[in-house]
Structure 1
């Protein structure tokens, strides 16, 4: 138990300086000498070189939660440290357990961790329904299309305050809101649109190093991160027809690993001429179909490029699978089975310059319900640009988790907290700055729970307050003032009234933005599962094995062969 407390405390000291709206950035130096600057909890934790197996387990759990929800990895470590200390303090003050008996103390700590997890799985939904959800707001996704600041923009603004510089949070939140508005159809479900953006994210942005973040912008259409294999031959100003190739048009004379037996030179000449004539026929057929752009995922031969140039067909080769997948989705390409190709209409293509890079820019004029666009994300340095890209991707993941449809689940029959059919925390937002922790802690201390769980609810209520304490650590008086105002609102505002929903107007908080209730809910469950997993570890055994080098392996093989030869000689000897 002592090793768990020490390990969690060491990780807490690492992420604490970057936590909250006033947190700073962490500077790492890689082996190559390149500096990495970040406030992302996942990037900070994964950059650590950890030899302690307990620390690796904790970092793995926190990183897995951060990657899934896009947020909460630093809060994960801080809440975990608070819970571990509360469990240790409870075990130490227990008169029935003495610290001299390590096995008893560990058994008691393991039992408390399991009871905390069981309590949350059985009663947390009901506690949220009674003490938190009546004071939340529903995230109206239709407002993302409005010009005025919406709840989505406030949610993103508070999110970026913990990841980027405060001077750029409003600009980035507006830019991402416009990006989401273009990709979300008014009649479509926001969850499906966000899921599509999360899956195709590598093809939706273009990083540009050397410019400030204020130069970031949206480009209509799609940016394919490759240049033309030859100067563009396009002269039309209207829509053109393109074709996608996944294999080389020019078949190889012999494949790798095959053996060629030459009997007659005339056969080789005949094969070469027939291959070129068939290739010319294919290019001519493409030209007759009106194809003027050839998009290839593989590198085409010089013969294909020369024939395409003669037919004034532009070629873009070695396109990534992510870019091709996005193009297929947007173009709704038709499969031509006899050519094993994809073909469709698209807008005019042209070169687009990003400093010294040349990319292909494609437009889709037939999209009426959507406005496909690409993000151009700028940064002064490579590390800052990566930080901006990571923050935007995590924001999309956070919105995806918030908009996730609730799963149908049966209510707990033995739950003693009303109501029996609790509402879902999905799609709910709350004022940022510790409001969720204050409300849930108050609900744990004042709502009716089974008597045998009083100590468990007290441990959980006290541990939750560690997050707002760290947020207002620069001014501890604010912590007391805001906590008292939140508790006062729960008494003065009746549940279900319109005044109780808008808690932000009643409480003074440091952050004017919002935060996702469901992300907080997932964070608490993930931390409790990690605590239960840590206290189930009885001991850590360090093993030391001899390295198996090539020389050792070869020597052992030679010795084995000599032994086998000696045995066979002994058997054959008369």
Structure 2
């Protein structure tokens, strides 16, 4: 392999096209799943673009760079990994086509490739600058009127319109991630989860996303259809002491972040204690140790006596307790749950409102949490601790835990990741609502993209934006004939966007043209007609429209977030610009005897 490799536009395009070929197998209604095998013999079946791309053993630095950009994007929006790589490849093709048409004097192949790369960088910079300034306005003026705003404040089973639209949004997401078999089940499960947690704002969705590791339980050996919600919180530990007294209601609990046993003396402390007692009282060393043991036992008894005065019957601990502490807890008929994870304890503290005990000598009423119940629960082959909290107000959230069932660990992990990503997608969909409030308070101009704005799937967003870009380019060409960059940028971006609907309707070009024509001909002031397009509502009556089963109709009759699409285009253009800025790849041999010098960067160098 060459130690120094000069990169041109064609090299970047070849690398991205190799990644595109991988994700194309899972994209669209006809997409399937990819089966990976590890060296250990373990297999992974997945349709998630991010999971597939990150599982590849990529050697080329440009490929790893693209995957890193995709990972960062999906960490924010939870969706769009396959569309991301398809758009990157399409943009590079359109840029390559435009750059190759530029007149170049030199006939040298290297000089011509270098000139094409320079032109490509210029076009990528112009495209990113144009979208940064104008894309949001174009979406607001040309696309938002066609969209339907999903009102989160009306999210309930009684508000049938918003509830139905939310399910369509979730179904289309799960179809692309997990397939159409269990998408209805998972969308119904997430709807119930959002309603129980009152996740009607960006901040509440962020709380749900941050605490998701403590809010779901994987159960192996059961079909996915057994997945359900459980009221309250499931702590993934078992009781360390008998649980005879927990049937009483209500239950009082205390959280300890330290060991109840006083800290044992180390060698230096023992020597100091021996010296001091010999100087003061002439006591022997063995008597000093006996004094300490008696004091430790007395301290433990005082701690449990203090807990009994508050009628505490459950002790939650982040550390393992001593045998003496467990024995006294058993004698006092208190249940101990030890080695609880930090995430679960943090969630318990938040839901209960109680403060954790960091000093056993000062237990106060604010340390005592009231529980509706605390009992064991058997999920699969494991027994955990199940707690629930009393309702304070009718409009307050009612915590619940998601039980994700699957036949194996890989399936449960895949469904858990999909649920976590769908929460990120919803958070991005409703994010402008809070962003508008913050920007108004800070004096900045608010977003013009309405929060909760959704459009039908099946290429509706791409068709509308493609039409809007062409119209804007023509307008700028007439108003300012000397500026040729804006019309060219609009044309290139508009052409690249059509790659997504082309792949969606790859088996039926007639359907592609019909949908494009009908989408662009609808009245923006009648968005409900767009949701009832014949392509989406009567596809079964028109078999020529789709060559597949009704499962594909389910994917194409859903909704998708306008805000997520906006973030996708911006992230793709930033990735393309970064890729085209790479001139040379240096292949450095690994030398374990010497460490290369690493430069230090300031905070200003992050961009």
Same fold by TM-score, threshold 0.5 exceeded?
yes
Provide the aligned C-alpha RMSD in A: 2.3
Partner SS for 2:362: coil
Alignment partner of 1:225 is 2:236:
yes
Match of 1:488 among 521, 527, 533: 521
For the 8 Å contact 2:90–2:499, the answer to whether it is kept is yes
Aligned to 1:252: 263
Question: How much has 1:472 moved relative to structure 2?
Answer: 1.2
Equivalent residues of 1:223, 1:361 under 8 A apart: yes
Map of 1:2 onto structure 2: 10
Counting only pairs closer than 5 Å after superposition, residues 562-573 of structure 1 correspond to structure 2 as none
For 1:51 and 1:146, locate their aligned partners in 2 and report how far apart those are by CA, in whole Å: 50
- Are the counterparts in 2 of residues 129 and 422 from structure 1 also a CA contact under 8 Å? no
1: CA distance between counterparts of 2:576 and 2:38? 31
Q: Does 1:317 align with 2:328?
A: no
In structure 2, relative to structure 1, the CA distance for the partners of 1:477 and 1:361 (3 Å cut) is same
Residues 378-387 or 20-29, more deviating: 20-29
Out of 150, 167, 171, the position equivalent to 2:185 is 171
Query: What does 1:136-175 align with in structure 2 at a 5 Å threshold?
Result: 136-147=147-158, 148=160, 149-175=163-189
Residue in 2 that maps onto 1:128: 139
Question: 2: CA distance between counterparts of 1:297 and 1:213?
Answer: 32
Q: Retained in 2: the 8 A contact 1:91–1:105?
A: yes
Gaps spanning 5+ residues in structure 2: where? Answer: 1-8, 275-283, 478-482, 537-552, 596-607
User: Deviation of residue 154 (structure 1)?
Assistant: 1.1
- Distance in 1 (CA, whole Å) between partners of 2:268 and 2:62 is 48
How far does residue 343 in structure 1 lie from its aligned partner after superposition?
1.6
Secondary structure of 1:375's counterpart equals strand
Q: Is the 8 A contact 2:230 2:403 kept in 1?
A: yes
Task: Return closer, same or farther for 1:397/1:213 CA change in 2, 3 Å cut-off.
Answer: same
Find out whether 1:63 has 2:74 as its counterpart. no
Q: In the alignment, is residue 272 of structure 1 matched against residue 305 of structure 2?
A: no
Aligned residues: 533
Are the equivalent residues in 2 in contact too, given 1:136–1:502 (CA < 8 A)?
no
Q: Is the 8 A contact 2:251 2:312 kept in 1?
A: yes
CA positional deviation for 1:477 = 2.1
Between the aligned partners of 2:521 and 2:499, the Cα distance in structure 1 is: 20
The answer to whether the 8 A contact 1:154-1:514 is kept is: yes
Q: Is the 8 A contact 2:236 2:384 kept in 1?
A: yes
Q: In the TM superposition, what are the counterparts of 1:45-84 in structure 2 within 5 Å?
A: 45-84=53-92
Say whether the 8 Å CA contact 2:460–2:519 is kept in structure 1: yes
Partners of 2:241 and 2:336 within 8 A in 1: yes
SS at match of 1:438: helix
Shift of 1:165: 2.8
Partner of 2:420: 393
Conserved 8 A contact 1:91-1:97: no
Unaligned runs of 5+ residues in structure 1 are 412-419, 551-574
Report what 1:374 is aligned to.
Answer: 401
- Asked if 1:521 corresponds to 2:566, the answer is yes
Give me the whole-angstrom Cα distance separating, in 2, the residues matched to 1:138 and 1:325.
35
Match of 1:468 in 2: 501
For 1:331 and 1:94, the matched residues in 2 are separated by 67
Q: Give the equivalent residue in structure 2 for 1:555.
A: none
What is the distance in 1 between the residues matched to 2:192 and 2:271? 59
Change (3 A) 1:22 1:466: same
1:477 equivalent in alignment to 2:495: no
Q: CA deviation at 1:45?
A: 1.1
**8 Å CA contact retained: 2:242, 2:330:** no
- Label 1:410 to 1:297 Cα distance change in 2 as closer, same or farther (>3 A): closer
SS of 1:437's partner is helix
Task: Tell which deviates more after alignment, 194-203 or 449-458.
Answer: 449-458
Alignment partners' CA distance in 1, 2:513 and 2:267 = 73
How far apart, CA to CA, are the structure 2 residues paired with 1:428 and 1:480?
A: 25
- Between the aligned partners of 2:397 and 2:421, the Cα distance in structure 1 is 23
